[in-house]
Amino acid sequence: MNRRTILKTASLLPIATAGTSLKATAGKARKRSVRFAYIGDTHIMPESKPMQQIAKCLHHIQNQADKPVFLMHGGDTIMDALVQDRDQVQKQWDVWHQVIKSDNALPIEHCIGNHDVWGFEKAKSEPLYGKKWAVEQMKISNRYRSFDRNGWHFIVLDSVQPKSDGSWYTAFLDAEQLDWLKQDLAKTNPKTPILVLSHVPILTSTVFTFDSEPKKDPTVITGGLMHTDSAELIKLFYQYPNIKTALSGHTHLLDRVDYNGVAYLCNGAVSGNWWKTDTFHETKAGYALIDLYDDGSVERTYVQYS
C-alpha cells in the first residue's frame, strides 16, 4: 500500500463508518419508492396568462434535477364548468389539452374538482351533464378509482357532490363510493403504504384562514371547503395504519396536518389567487414534489415556479 492509497483509504473511512453506525442504530435504511409532482387548481381558460404560466410550471417540474416520474392533478383543471354553457367548457378543455400536448411529457393521474363538473342548468338532459364530461376529458376509468405503483397503493376520490338543485355542492363521499372505499381498503395488503387524493381536503387547518373577512360565525365550517364526512373518514382510516398520507388542493393554501399517523397535505395551487395575483393569502402559486418511501414515510417540497 503506497502513500497515495493509504490517503485515499483514510479519506473514505469516516463516511463508511458513519454509514455503518447509522445502519446499526436506525435499522434498515429507507429507500425512496417514487417521486411525483402534485399539481392542482390549474383553472385553465383560453387566456394567455394561465396558458403561459401553466406551461412554465410544467417545464419547471420537468427541468428538476431530481425529476418526478409522473404528475398527480388534484382537480379544478379548468376555470369553471359549473355555471358555463357547452362552448365555454369545451374551450377550456381544448386549451388544457393544447398546453399538455406541447409542454408536458409526463403521465398525469387526474382527480375531479368542483369546477370540473358540468352543472350548467340547461344541460341536465344532456349525456355529458355532471362528471361524465370531466371523466372523458381526463381519460380516467371512473370518477373515483385506485391503482398500485412503485410499491404504494393510490386511492383517488371524488369529493364533489352537487346539491340536488344543481346550485352548489357539498364535499363528502356518496354511499356508493364509501362502500367501494371500504372494500378497496379491506383488500389492500396491510403492509402496502396507501396514499389518498381528494380535491377537497379531508382534514385541513386552512378552513380557518380561507376567508378574507373574519367569519360571521367562527363555529361554522362550510360544507364546500372541507369534507363534511371527515369524522367518519378519519375513523375509517384509523383502522388502516398503512394509510400514510392524504393529499388535496381546493383552498389554494398550503398546510400540513398530522393526525393519527396520517399526513394531510394541502398543496397550494398552480393558479395562486385564481390567476388574479400569484399569491393567495400567504401561499404563492406553486406545485409540490412528493417523495414516497418504502417505510411509508412521505416528504413534500412546495415549489414556486415563477
Instruction: Based on the shown chain and the rule CB under 5 A, indicate whether residue 116 belongs to the binding site for Zn ion.
Output: no
Q: Among residues 173 and 270, whose Cβ is nearest to Zn ion?
A: 270
> Residue 62 Cβ, how far from Zn ion at the closest point, in Å?
23
Backbone phi and psi for residue 174, each to the nearest 5 degrees, phi listed first: -65, 160
Q: Which is nearer to Zn ion, 113 or 296 (CB)?
A: 113
Q: Closer to Zn ion by CB, 76 or 229: give it.
A: 76
**Site size for Zn ion, by CB under 5 A?**
2
Tell me the closest approach of the beta carbon of residue 206 to Zn ion, in angstroms. 12
Q: Which is nearer to Zn ion, 44 or 99 (CB)?
A: 44
Q: If you count DSSP H runs as helices and E runs as strands, how many of each does the chain have, helices first?
A: 6, 15
β partners of residue 285: none
Grid cell 398552480 in the structure block, residue: 270
Judge contact between 248 and 206, C-beta under 8 A: no
Nearer to Zn ion, 33 or 273 (CB): 273
Least gap, CB of 296 to Zn ion (angstroms): 29
Give the closest residue to 161 by CA, choosing from 125, 135, 199, 195. Answer: 199
Coil/strand/helix, residue 188:
coil
Residue 9 in 3-state DSSP? Answer: helix
Taking the complex as a whole, how short is the minimal distance between the CB of residue 8 and Zn ion, in angstroms? 56
* H-state helical runs in the chain: 3-26, 48-62, 86-103, 132-138, 175-187, 230-238
* Cβ at position 9, least distance to Zn ion in Å: 57
User: In the range 257-286, which residues lie near Zn ion by CB under 5 A?
Assistant: none
Q: Which is nearer to Zn ion, 225 or 234 (CB)?
A: 225
Residues 66-85 touching Zn ion, rule: CB under 5 A, are: 76
Which position has the grid cell 393567495?
A: 280
CB 22 within 8 A of CB 137: no
CB of 225 to Zn ion, least distance (A): 11
Asked if 41 interacts with Zn ion (CB under 5 A), we say yes
Name the residues that contact Zn ion, by CB under 5 A: 41, 76
